[in-house]
Amino acid sequence: MRVRALAALCLLVVASSGATAATQLRIGLQDDPDTLDPALNWTYVGRHVLQSLCDKLVDIDGELNLVPMLATAWTWSDGGKTLTLTLREQVKFQDGTPFDAAAVKFNLDRELAMPGSRRKSEIDAIQSVDATGPLTVAIHLSKPSIPLLAALADRAGMMVSPKAATEAGASFAQHPVCAGPYRFVERAVQDHITLERDPGHWRAADYHFDRLVFVPITDSTVRLTNLRSGQLDLIEQVLPTDMAEVKTDRSLAGIEATGLGYTGMTINVANGAKADNPAGRSKAVRKAISLAIDRDAINQVAFDGRFLPGNQPFPPGSPYYDTAFPVPKRDLAGAKAALAGVGPVTLDLLIPTDPVRGQIGQMIQAMLGEAGITVNLVQTEFVTLLDRTRRGDFQADLIAWSGRIDPDLNITPLLGCGAAGNDGHFCSQGLEAALAIGRASPEPALRKPAYAKAVAVLEDELPIVYLYHTLWLYAAKAKLKGFKPMPDGIMRFDGVQMAP
């Protein structure tokens, strides 16, 4: 039924646009994105869509270097408290209004002031923004914050049209207007998002598809089936157990890249009434949870041994990974000892509805059950899950973070005191102090001890029980050429085209 529905959808889109199939790229996503307002978006899949819709001030390359995008140059001054950007000339938003220094000021001020902004905690070191010239912006910070520039390589740096955002107000996400290579056409929730190429984009010649159609399909096997049947051209989140078969199929191409992120269990420690549960109240229970989980078994069974077991915000290969806290082996006796005197422990665990995370939830349920912890699995549609965790309507959840190039951005947005993404409302002054030191210095040799102190706090408190680090796995039609996976896992379509 899903294949037939996709076929009908694709025929409908082609007919309505006048485009041919050769100029349309159909992309299968693991989940349906949440809002398409960059200031409010909080989903990894949303970043795929926004990458093509909204250019950023800076971007990253395949070696994790920051590279120009809408800003062509930048300098630090005033002891790391002023960041000056030089902007690209003759860029327009998709509504024809000019991109300039005033637009950058509008966007950063909007992200800091908007109720519910997911970007505020990423850029809250900003004290003021001045348009010092038509194409020059001075960003003044209350304290040095080296991660700020890296934050501008993600949604905090995505520029929306001030005119469109002002006129639309709270309805902006229903028809977002940015400065990216593709402009918004339509969205049918849980069905598809369609973008069309903007001929006025400053790099329009590098984009070869007239339309992008993003289709959410939560089941990885169904996504692959739709790719094989010709209803999709490219899919993300291929099952590791399917990659060997994909790579032997001459009609397909298997593509992979090492990721920056992690998957873990976030514990509600202080967000409303549901924080009043054994894991939320007691770090001894959280320690028992961590000790009872066999991370290597999860990797072997669910991911064919291709992922990396983990216990920190950074993968073991990262220069910021603290070897003083190696990935723990399962210790069932230690888990039971940690629970001594605690009494019966029951935990409701929210998990997304896709089969892979369902399997991982079942493995966690069985492992914790052997330690004496009863886990109730609550499968929840992904955007609904995010809404519930934000409101504190959860005890624990299984969630992924796609990772950032700066170590601070793998901790602060999720565990900083008051951060919008801190769903469990964990707050530690020891962690805050360590992160402040790490943010203040550009030198890795000085930053590493600070993040080691941060990891020590996280290992002691366990507000997130880290489980594993992913590879980014894609499959595409063999005729799709030029697609290059990036370490942040976000799909980019410049230079991508379909061979005859």
Query: 5 falls in which pLDDT band (50, 70, 90)?
Result: very low
Shared domain for 125 and 204, answered yes or no, is: no
State which H helix or E strand residue 399 sits in.
strand 396-401
Shared domain for 207 and 290, answered yes or no, is: no
Shared domain for 305 and 280, answered yes or no, is: yes
| Token output for 193 | 């998002």
Phi-psi domain of 213 (left: phi exceeds 0; alpha: psi -120 through 50; beta: other) = beta
Average pLDDT for 295-323: 94
Phi-psi domain of 43 (left: phi exceeds 0; alpha: psi -120 through 50; beta: other) = beta
> Between helices 355-371 and 220-228, what is the axis angle to 10°?
160
pTM above 0.75, yes or no: yes
Sheet holding 471-477, edge to edge: 182-188, 192-197, 211-216, 24-29, 234-235, 471-477, 252-258
The answer to whether position 173 is within a domain reads: no
Shared domain for 311 and 427, answered yes or no, is: yes
The answer to whether position 251 is within a domain reads: yes
Shared domain for 276 and 355, answered yes or no, is: yes
Shared domain for 50 and 112, answered yes or no, is: no
Question: Long-range contact list for 238-241, CB < 8 A, 24+ apart?
Answer: 238/473, 238/474, 238/475, 239/356, 239/473, 240/302, 240/303, 240/304, 240/305, 240/306, 240/307, 240/471, 240/473, 241/303, 241/304
CATH code of the domain in which 10 resides: 3.40.190.10
Shared domain for 134 and 50, answered yes or no, is: no
Shared domain for 66 and 149, answered yes or no, is: yes
Q: How far apart are CA 422 and CA 338, in angstroms?
A: 26
The answer to whether position 171 is within a domain reads: no
314 by Cβ neighbours in 10 Å (0-12 / 13-18 / 19+) ranks as buried
Shared domain for 383 and 454, answered yes or no, is: yes
The answer to whether position 172 is within a domain reads: no
**Residue range(s) defining the domain that contains residue 388:** 262-469
The answer to whether position 174 is within a domain reads: no
Shared domain for 458 and 485, answered yes or no, is: no
pLDDT in tens, 441-491: 888 888 999 999 999 999 999 999 999 999 999 999 999 999 999 989 999
Q: Has residue 282 got a pLDDT over 50?
A: yes
pLDDT in tens, 67-97: 999 999 999 999 889 999 999 999 999 999 9
pLDDT-above-70 percentage for the chain: 96
State which H helix or E strand residue 226 sits in.
helix 220-228
CATH code of the domain in which 342 resides: 3.10.105.10
**Secondary structure of 82-94 as H, E, C letters:** EEEEEECCCCECC
Query: 18 falls in which pLDDT band (50, 70, 90)?
Result: very low
| Token output for 370 | 């052997």
Alpha-carbon 345 to chain mean position: 32
The answer to whether position 170 is within a domain reads: no
Shared domain for 250 and 354, answered yes or no, is: no
Boundary-marking domain end, from 161, 188, 208: 161
Q: How far apart are CA 247 and CA 373, in angstroms?
A: 41
State which H helix or E strand residue 27 sits in.
strand 24-29
Q: Has residue 17 got a pLDDT over 50?
A: no
Boundary-marking domain end, from 106, 128, 161: 161
Query: 7 falls in which pLDDT band (50, 70, 90)?
Result: very low
The residue among 11 and 74 whose pLDDT is bigger is 74
219 closest CA partner among 204, 239, 234: 239
Residue 200 has a CB neighbour count (10 Å cut-off) of 14
pLDDT in tens, 181-240: 999 999 999 999 999 999 999 999 999 999 999 999 999 999 999 999 999 999 999 999
Query: 6 falls in which pLDDT band (50, 70, 90)?
Result: very low
496 closest CA partner among 69, 27, 44: 27
The answer to whether position 166 is within a domain reads: no
CATH code of the domain in which 105 resides: 3.90.76.10
Q: Distance between the two ends of the chain, CA-based, in angstroms?
A: 29
Domain count for the chain:
3
Q: Has residue 11 got a pLDDT over 70?
A: no
Boundary-marking domain end, from 110, 131, 161: 161
Predicted local distance difference test score (pLDDT) of residue 15:
35
Query: 316 falls in which pLDDT band (50, 70, 90)?
Result: confident
Average pLDDT for 43-52: 97
Task: Tell me the Cα Rg of the chain.
Answer: 23
Written as one string, the DSSP assignment of 454-478 is: HHHHHHHH-SEEEEEEPEEEEEEET
Give, as one character, the DSSP assignment of residue 412.
Answer: H
pLDDT in tens, 103-148: 999 999 999 999 999 999 999 999 999 999 999 999 999 999 999 9
The answer to whether position 168 is within a domain reads: no
Q: Please, are residues 220 and 237 in contact by the beta-carbon 8 Å criterion?
A: yes
Shared domain for 407 and 478, answered yes or no, is: no
Predicted local distance difference test score (pLDDT) of residue 258:
87
Task: Provide the pairing of β-strand 464-469 with 396-401.
Answer: unpaired
Give, as one character, the DSSP assignment of residue 98.
Answer: B
- Kindly report the average pLDDT of the chain as a whole number: 94
